[in-house]
């Protein structure tokens, strides 16, 4: 579904990504992690065709659905209007949504448990609510490859879990290929089959989650001690930073 070889990307005369190579096969989930400013969004925008690479080869097969990190609209569209925009590629030039398009849009409102938002103005919604609406829009496009830029950034824990379970369902039941960026290693632990750890514009680690996502690699990624924590009685683990600070000193 995605294959990149020796990909180099520049923006404003500055090299952001250099010699990146990756392969994401159908029905797998790739989590992209890295510090702020390392180029995660640039990579995602390159994968969806918004940015053209300076050199290298990029092949993306299948219809792509994209969920941006932040999104506002200049007019007072309802949430339902926004999701129906995902049907544009199926309508043709000057086409108007019909009964089937409304059914598909409302199906994803139901799937995400946001039916109550249908008639609300999109710009009046909270950041988390907008994010869920944009996910519904991407799914309404009937894409084969879903790309998301920090889809859980504005969501509370309950809605983070909802989105992660949805992405897992789309992979397991519909063989959808998914790539998403995140600052939360736990999201990768939960659902990703593969991870891309972007340390710099030219240095990265790519591989199956069980192999590539480790305390050592995360420590290098964030330049901060990261430790693995295992949960008693559960076959689960997470990663947490060990923040550098001095404890309170006692005069006694």
Given a cut of 80, whether residue 92 has pLDDT beyond it is no
Instruction: State the chain's mean pLDDT as an integer.
Output: 91
H or E element: which one contains 64? Answer: strand 64-67
- From 67, 130, 142, 131, select the one nearest 105 (Cα to Cα): 142
- Band the pLDDT of 244: cuts 50, 70, 90: confident
Q: Which residue has the higher pLDDT, 187 or 93?
A: 187
Distance CA 29, CA 143 (A): 15
- Band the pLDDT of 93: cuts 50, 70, 90: low
- Band the pLDDT of 72: cuts 50, 70, 90: confident
Question: Which phi and psi angles does 54 have, rounded to 5°?
Answer: -70, -40
In a 10 Å sphere around its CB, with 0-12 CB exposed, 13-18 middle and 19+ buried, how is residue 233 labelled? exposed
Residue 52 pLDDT: 94
CATH number of 1-62+144-214: 3.40.50.300
Residue 252 pLDDT: 47
Query: What is the average per-residue pLDDT within 22-45?
Result: 94
Q: How many CB atoms lie within 10 A of CB 236?
A: 11
- From 240, 220, 222, select the one nearest 230 (Cα to Cα): 240
Q: Are 108 and 84 in contact (CB under 8 A)?
A: no
Given a cut of 80, whether residue 208 has pLDDT beyond it is yes
Residue 101 pLDDT: 94
Point out the least confidently predicted range of 13-27, 83-97, 211-225, 238-252. Answer: 238-252
Given a cut of 90, whether residue 154 has pLDDT beyond it is no
| Strand pairing report for 194-198 and 29-34 | parallel
Given a cut of 70, whether residue 132 has pLDDT beyond it is yes
Indicate the pTM of the whole model.
0.89
Residue 247 pLDDT: 57
- Band the pLDDT of 94: cuts 50, 70, 90: low
Would you state the structure tokens that stand for residue 167, as one six-digit string? 């992405």
Q: Are 224 and 62 in contact (CB under 8 A)?
A: no
- From 57, 8, 46, select the one nearest 147 (Cα to Cα): 46
**Above pLDDT 90, what percent of the chain?**
75
Domain boundaries in the chain?
Answer: 1-62+144-214, 77-140
Query: What is the average per-residue pLDDT within 79-92?
Result: 90
Q: Are 219 and 240 in contact (CB under 8 A)?
A: no
């Amino acid at each position: 579904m995605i294959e990149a070889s020796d990909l180099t990307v520049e923006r404003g005369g500055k090299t952001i990504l250099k010699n990146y190579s990756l392969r994401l096969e159908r029905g797998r989930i790739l989590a992209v992690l890295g510090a702020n400013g390392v180029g995660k969004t640039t990579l995602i925008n390159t994968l969806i065709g918004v940015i053209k690479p300076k050199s290298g080869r990029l092949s993306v097969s299948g219809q792509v659905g994209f969920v941006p990190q932040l999104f506002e609209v200049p007019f007072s569209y309802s949430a339902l209007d926004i999701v129906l925009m995902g049907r544009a590629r199926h309508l043709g030039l000057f086409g108007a949504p019909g009964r089937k398009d409304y059914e598909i849009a409302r199906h994803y409102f139901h799937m995400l448990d946001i039916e109550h938002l249908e008639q609300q103005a999109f710009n009046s919604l909270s950041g988390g609510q907008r994010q869920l609406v944009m996910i519904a829009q991407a799914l309404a496009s009937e894409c084969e490859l879903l790309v998301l830029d920090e889809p859980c950034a504005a969501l509370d824990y309950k809605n983070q879990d909802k989105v992660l379970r949805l992405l897992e369902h789309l992979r397991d039941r519909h063989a959808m290929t998914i790539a998403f960026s995140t600052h939360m290693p736990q999201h990768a632990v939960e659902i990703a089959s593969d991870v891309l750890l972007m340390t710099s514009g030219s240095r990265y680690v790519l591989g199956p989650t069980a192999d590539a996502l480790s305390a050592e690699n995360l420590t290098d990624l964030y330049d901060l001690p990261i430790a693995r924590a295992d949960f008693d009685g559960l076959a689960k683990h997470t990663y947490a930073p060990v923040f550098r600070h001095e404890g309170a000193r006692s005069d006694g």
